[in-house]
Chains A and B, each alone.
Chain A
């Protein structure tokens, strides 16, 4: 990883808004590094100030204190166009002009590079085609945005950002309204882009499990505590990930790599294969069954044996338990 370097760096940032002369500080003492060739995920609860940080990184909000350095130069010394050549963005808002084709949308990404009329040069065209093929959208380039699925449209938005050809790609909840498969696909695509194109990709997301699967680095944001950065697995093993779930209700299960409801202790003892038993237990817990009088066994055929009775599935078992109680 010798060729990996810091593209964007924040040093002791303090951010906020001033309203009617009053300063309202939202974030203080933020420090971070964004590396090229890496996919970084910014995680944190709603309202913690992720959008504010993104605004600052995009240069739309000037820090009160501290420095933001892009490419060895203070961010605010770039003008809007120079900045646009370095940082591209994808937002979660699903507004789009339906009449635009995918190709035209991606071509709009060249806006900071073209002259006043917006005419594409041969280099611009190459860039657009490259962005389309990198996102595997070449076949769809003449389709209108209004006729695409949400997932394809968001991919087209990513292609547009790629065509803008900046070193930094910032995505603010790009998968917020997508289904599971599309969320996975877009995150793997972003990972691929960060590695192949040597771009620093920063994604704001709430999908912890997908982020764990794809990210090289986490930025953890929490109310009242500084930004915590590191490799996802480091954050996991050190238990820092638990900071995302304040209170006693939820717990991050290291074994299964996901968040779970903390259940009241129960007296269920079930025999059978471990994975199966886990789900049987879960179903019984949700149904409010804390103990069973007789021994319960999960058979290899997924039938359930309670004492001498057998049940075809969990639904039948729970029905029986509730009626007999």
Chain B
């Protein structure tokens, strides 16, 4: 059932190149050959290069890979489950939930008269996780009551915008400093994490992917719709819980640590379908994961062009670069036919 098997080695190779390019790019250009030899022998031309690579760029690159994989796999799950090509990791309001958690932490400081300067990345991530978790709980309650997946989708979107409105109210009443801090968070960032946080994020990815691996067959059957899937022995109610759990862990965890990263989760599954020309999830899941990692690595590299003192927020880059790219692909090929 596999089509275009030769693509996987090429994509893996591209991933390697993207990783190397990502590591090279930044305010200081470090040649890829130097990085390779430095990593290989442990002897670096300049001490500062070792510092930059090991403590700053490598964790950032790993976060890009983890977030790219996680969000793309989330997007694919949502698109197949809801049979909707516009679905993405955030349609159930996960990012709004995480946003509310972080907003409460950052913005309520003004109201309570507490300084926000003492916040560290662990606290922000914890607030994000709590927010995403609360949102997940709410969505689960809805999912438990309604059977129709379209209703679930609509409720997810509605609750998401309601939660965003709450954040707006909080922003309105908060001080300039806290507001700026929240705005920066909401633009997404891959670089704010240390190695132990990267390891935790990697664990989150691993946990979130396990249920996906075991439901690939169900997702394939679901291509024909709910009724057909059930008639082939697929427990669609159970799959819905798996989907909510997996995307909640993946999107929730990634958003908590990196902020919301727009666009990637919707676009990458479509790219994978176009590249591999298949609807088989045994190919689409690994394919989307790899493409997502590549895309986020490249977008991050673009945001860190050498010679620039400042960097572009990742959210802006993914949307600015990704949108035209995917729109052109979609216009060239009939998207709905490929779905």
A interface, CB within 8 angstroms of B: 58, 60, 80-85, 87-89, 91, 93, 95-100, 103-105, 107-109, 111-112, 114, 116-118, 120, 146, 164
Contact = CB atoms under 8 A, between A and B. Distances in A.
A97 B224 CA distance: 7
B227 interface: yes
Given A112-B233, A114-B217, A146-B337, 6 more contacts: A80-B233, A88-B231, A99-B339, A104-B278, A117-B216, A117-B282
B232 A108 contact: yes
A118 B220 contact: yes
20 contacts: A85-B233, A89-B231, A91-B227, A91-B228, A93-B227, A95-B224, A97-B224, A98-B337, A99-B273, A99-B277, A99-B279, A103-B1, A104-B280, A108-B220, A111-B220, A116-B217, A117-B217, A117-B282, A118-B282, A146-B337
B93 to A, nearest CB: 27
Nearest to A111: B232
Nearest to A107: B1
Contacts of A146: 337
Contacts of B336: 98
A84 B282 contact: no
B109 interface: no
B296 to A, nearest CB: 25
Nearest to B219: A118
A104 B282 contact: no
Contacts of A87: 231
B232 A100 contact: no
B210 to A, nearest CB: 12
Interface string B271-288: 001000111101000000
A199 to B, nearest CB: 15
A116 B282 CA distance: 11
B223 interface: yes
Contacts of B1: 103-104, 107, 120
A105 to B, nearest CB: 8
Contacts of B279: 97, 99-100, 104
Given A98-B336, A104-B279, A80 B217 contact: no
A219 B287 CA distance: 49
A98 B339 contact: yes
Contacts of B83: 95
Contacts of B228: 89, 91
Contacts of A80: 230, 233-235
B40 interface: no
Interface of B: 1, 83, 214, 216-217, 220-221, 223-225, 227-228, 230-235, 273, 277-280, 282, 336-339
A25 to B, nearest CB: 21
Given A85-B233, A109-B232, A117-B216, A99 B338 contact: yes
Nearest to B273: A99
B223 A100 contact: yes
Given A80-B234, A84-B232, A84-B233, A111 B217 contact: yes
Given A97-B224, A99-B277, A58 B231 contact: yes
A83 B220 CA distance: 19
Instruction: Please name the 6 residue pairs, one residue from A and one from B, whose CB atoms are nearest each other, closest first.
Output: A84-B233, A118-B217, A81-B233, A112-B233, A111-B232, A99-B279
Contacts, number: 77
Residue among A96, A97, A105, A117 with most chain B CB within 10 A: A97
A118 B227 CA distance: 19
A96 B224 contact: yes
Given A91-B228, A104-B279, A116 B220 contact: no
A229 B232 CA distance: 29
Contacts of A88: 231
Contacts of A60: 230
A81 B221 CA distance: 13
B273 A112 contact: no
Contacts of B227: 89, 91, 93
Contacts of B223: 97, 100, 108
Nearest to A110: B232
Contacts of B231: 58, 84, 87-89
A89 B226 CA distance: 12
Contacts of B282: 117-118
A163 B263 CA distance: 39
Contact of B224 (A84, A108, A114, A116): A108
B301 to A, nearest CB: 31
Contacts of B232: 84, 108-109, 111-112, 164
Contacts of B214: 116
B91 to A, nearest CB: 20
B239 to A, nearest CB: 12
Nearest to B339: A97
B277 A111 contact: no
Nearest to A91: B227
B249 to A, nearest CB: 20
A118 B216 contact: yes
Nearest to A113: B233
Nearest to B236: A80
B225 A95 contact: yes
Contact of B233 (A83, A100, A117): A83
Contacts of A120: 1
Contacts of B230: 60, 80
Nearest to A98: B337
Contacts of A93: 225, 227
A107 B279 CA distance: 13
A31 B337 CA distance: 44
Contacts of B339: 97-99
